[in-house]
Amino acid sequence: MASIVSITGTISGVVNEQYFGGFENDEKKLARLSKNKSIGRQGLTITNVATRPPPPSVTTSTPAHHDQLEGLVKAENLPTKLAAWRSIRRERWEGELVIEGEIPMWLKGTYLRNGPGMWHVGDYNFRHLFDGYATLVRLYFEDGRLIAGHRQIESEAYKAARKNNKICYREFSEVPKPDNFLSYVGELANLFSGASLTDNANTGVIMLGDGRVVCLTETIKGSIQINPDTLETIGRFEYSDKWGGLIHSAHPIVTSTDFWTLLPDLIRPGYMVARMAAGTNERKVVGRVDCRGGPAPGWVHSFPVTDHYVIVPEMPLRYCAQNLLKAEPTPLYKFEWHPESKAFMHVMCKASGKIVASVEIPLYVTFHFINAYEEKDEDGRVRAVIADCCEHNADTTILDKLRLQNLRSFAGQDVLPDARVGRFRIPLDGTPHGTLEAALDPDEHGRGMDMCSINPAYLGKQYRYAYACGAQRPCNFPNTLTKIDLVKKKAKNWCDPGAIPSEPFFVARPGATEEDDGVVISMISDKNGEGYALMLDGSTFEEIARAKFPYGLPYGLHGCWVPKD
């Protein structure tokens, strides 16, 4: 088991001063607005402004800069103004934003969001949302002010593309184009060793229990430590254990003391459940789950935990070695759909590593689990585990719907596959089957559901509220923010017509006693090619503040909160 073989300061000082030239009049104007507390959109008061105005919109022409990517900054010829699916035009920027409304004074810290922000190399456009080179966005809150910035993660894949003006590592749907047959053979050899797999950490960002901040993706080598204050890339996060492996869950479970992850095993289909203590780099395997279906483990992009258990999903959307070898992607990319292999959920004891339940459940497709908790009887004994996820009605077409061509060519038709809050009930009494049902009427959130967050104090515990992206139909992508009430089975929805919001991230108010007492943060790409940071009240789900970016930001995936010391 020692070798698990698997698939798959400020930044502004760095930015050239010419970006800020010629804006003296705008600066005076903004200062005057701040002094007069002018009334902004929706009656929100503009309370703070940039002391130094931001650069012009990224849709305008700007001078070249030595830190920009020469071949990577060519704008794609896209038919829409929406910045969500366009590459970021600059490698980095930082500045203070104008705020409309009021940011709570208690909100002190840094929100980091990671995601694919560069979808082309030279004249070549990437095919899939998940391919893009990682862009970190930072929102720093203190004393009601907001400083924003972004920066590319300096992965080896990104640096090689910048140097060679071409793709050099295998991304989600992209394969380097070999110069000849021998280079193709060599590239295949590098695939089996893991050398050609990307380290493009474009999926998530987490803060470990000891304060280190790490960006992640599906490949283990794509674990990269960054500085949350400057967004500088520190270097690869090296695991000091013997377990090796090529891939892991892109979403580990992180607390102040633990880091839990799943390591899929392709040779003997199954999963290793591993724990890493805070302050270390050593993963220790707690136990193993053997797959009950086949021919390979199911995709484990994420998984849930409870106070005492790790829940290991075995989805019939399974890893596929043959698809990984292909130069051109299939509709399911690195996976295959095997409904005949059935679907299962396994429950492992955190303390002993023993499997306490392994049940068959209805077929399902999910990227993201929301939360899980233990269901107890009147005597306090655990009788079942409840696990909630963003479930796509066992419809695998959602993967191909995320091709950039589909996202950029929306013509008004309702083409987003339906999704729901899927609720699994996994009995612990030896019953061989579990259940999967909708936790509330999917029409409450427009039959769209993904990119979720909860109050972190309720991780692994019975909870009531979740925040996610829903849908206002017709659409081709989740386009609303929604607050789910799992007790009343209702949803509140926020929408800016024509805009694309990123994951709503909940930050609890210090000392709060109510589960939804806090602020929800999201970044919005609006229909005019611009964007803004949005703050909603976690309880009422009403807008309390927004801050416009000086440029349109690409769509991002997942974030984390780094509190101020």
- Binding residues, by number, are 251, 301, 368, 558
**C-alpha count within 13 angstroms, C-beta hemisphere, residue 313:** 31
Burial zone of 192 (CB within 10 Å; 0-12 exposed, 13-18 middle, 19+ buried): middle
Q: Rounded distance, CA 397 to CA 417, Å?
A: 7
Q: Kindly report the CA angle at 557 between 551 and 562, in degrees rounded to 5?
A: 85
Q: Which residues are annotated as a binding site for Fe cation?
A: 251, 301, 368, 558
CA atoms within a 13 Å half-sphere pointing along the CA-CB vector of 475: 24
CA 404 to chain centre: 17
Say if residues 374 and 309 touch (Cβ distance below 8 Å). yes
Residue from 444, 454, 335, 469 nearest 388 by CA: 454
Establish whether the linkage from the previous residue to 474 is cis, with ω within 30° of 0: yes
Q: What is the DSSP string of 33-73?
A: HHHHT-B-GGG-BEEE--SSPPPPPTTS-----TTS-TTT-
How big is the CA angle at 412 (ends 410 and 415), to the nearest 5 degrees?
70
Q: Are 89 and 58 in contact (CB under 8 A)?
A: yes
In 3D space, the residue among 398, 422, 438 whose CA is nearest the CA of residue 345 turns out to be: 422
Q: What is the 3-state secondary structure (H, E, C) of 311-365?
A: EEEECCEEECHHHHHCCCCCCCCCEEECHHHCEEEEEEECCCCCEEEEEEECCCC
